[in-house]
Amino acid sequence: MTELWALGACELALLVRERQVSAREVVRAHLDRISHVNPAVNAITVLLDDEALRAADAADEARRRSEPVGPLTGVPMTVKENIDLAGSATTLGIAALKDAVARHDAPHIGQLRAAGAIALGRTNMPEFGMRWHTDSALRGPTRNPWSARHTPGGSSGGDAAAVASGMTPLGMGNDGAGSLRWPAHCCGVAALKPSLGRVPQDGGHYPPRPVPFAFQLLAVHGPIARHVRDLRLAFAHMCGDGAGDPWYAPVPLQGPPVLPPVRVSVISTPNGGSVDPAVAEAINRAARVLADAGYVVTEDQAPALERAGEIYYQIMSAYSRVREQQPPVETVAPGAFARFWAGFDAAWTAAAGTRAFDPMMERAVIARLWDAWMREAPLVLAPVCTRQPFEVGADLEPRWQAGWPAAIRMCVAVNLVGLPAVTIPVGSDPDGLPVAVQVIGPRFREDLCLDAAAAIEADMGPATPIDPR
């Protein structure tokens, strides 16, 4: 029999619902797995074992009394340290916030718990979530379960590594510049970046917590899992209440039917730039799978892609740093992050290109161009990143930093225009590291993205969980 920690969220929910296992057994199996592998990975930073077991016992007692149970009852999850989880510190990876205990759950976390999910622990992230590698002065580095020499990605690297190594079937992260999709690529798991406005960003605070405009516009919460069906299950229970978020839109999870065959634009070389051979082969392989599944795939290029990247960096630079309200970075996040931040500033500035008179006006133009383009082919198959996972420490080097904005441009363009995307692993490269692709859809059509990702997964099969290497 497969170990409980190796099963996905849907399988575990079914076993608990049919009384084949108890919620306590599920939680206990994952706690045991955490004790076995987390010392080598450092993905889970705060273990909530007592609280998780109490929640499991409460769920089992409710079942014994024949009370209704939620669709996620007994399913463990982990929660990134920049998401509120009542009774636990929301640190943002910063030592100064190690005691900033949240009084309330973030809206989507509360909804997941109401559906029966059980929080096992908090997960690692870089300071502020503003680095593509997971390490912090507060928690130390997270290691990629596939190769300790290579990054697990960032900023949701703790959740991606925890899911990949079987410590949890679900990880709750967020994505402002590929922070769900890039770690999923690095760790060989699946991730869903929802549309802007689909999942409430924040809520339950009075007075409302200030959130910089760039993060309101560009960042979203989303799940990480080993199976597409688990992304779909978690997502269905993350977006039912806007909680006062002004961007929230109560849109049905299932959109209107698209007459088959569904067309897919394949972007194997974004803007004709260089692409790692393993990434290019992954795109080609995924395109063949979709064609065999009945999709019509056509090689194409995204409109205004380079300018989309430039406008992204202009908005993020101008409206995320809040210099007037926080002390210098080196005093808040010393060490490697301060070095990264100082070095990446030049790359960030160069990537912003020619300054727009009004970046939001240009964003609207680009969004309309993408909308018109995707009316012909509603799905886009593209790299998450044109590079493979880098060796730990490479992102501190000026040459790496100079080339990174172009490598991750497809990701940040999706953030700019607020579209959904699903990352799905597609095999491994010659060095044994995972390779992934992303399927991008029109706004609020996560269902189309998930359908296509499921077709790719059906041919490839999941690559995880794995033991740390």
Give the list of residues 6+ apart from residue 139 with CB closer than 8 angstroms, or none. 42, 45, 81, 93, 124
User: Exactly one of 179, 195, 268, 320 is catalytic; which is it?
Assistant: 179
Peptide bond into 76 cis (omega under 30): no
* Residue 225 tokens, joined: 């899992």
Our answer to whether residue 155 is catalytic in this structure is yes
Pair 264, 377: CB distance under 8 Å: yes
Amino acid found at 404: W
- Could you tell me if 152 and 187 are in contact, meaning their C-beta atoms sit under 8 angstroms apart? yes
- Per DSSP, what are the bridge partners of residue 174? 221
Output the CA torsion sign for 384, 387, 388, 392: negative
User: In whole angstroms, what is the distance from residue 326 CA to residue 5 CA?
Assistant: 41
Long-range contacts of 388-391 (CB under 8 A, 24+ apart): 388/276, 388/278, 388/279, 388/429, 388/431, 388/433, 388/435, 389/144, 389/147, 389/150, 389/151, 389/152, 389/153, 389/185, 389/186, 389/433, 389/434, 390/133, 390/150, 390/151, 391/149, 391/150, 391/151
- Whether 136 sits among the annotated catalytic residues: the reply is no
- The tokens describing 419, both together, are 């579209």
Provide the terminal-to-terminal Cα distance of the chain, rounded to the nearest Å: 24
> DSSP letter string over 66-86?
T----TTTT-EEEEETTS--T
Q: Is residue 80 flagged as an active site residue?
A: yes
- Which H helix or E strand runs over 171? strand 170-175
Strand order in the sheet with 76-80: 44-47, 118-123, 76-80, 170-175, 220-225, 190-193, 421-428, 434-440, 379-383, 263-266, 296-299
Q: Which of 156, 82, 79 is nearest to 111 (CA)?
A: 79
Catalytic residue among 155, 156, 195, 265: 155
* Separation between Cα atoms, residue 300 and residue 297, nearest integer Å: 9
Say how far apart CA 161 and CA 184 lie, in whole Å: 8
Integer Cα distance of 373 and 174 in angstroms: 27
Residue 325 gets which letter from DSSP? G
Query: Catalytic residue numbers?
Result: 80, 155, 179
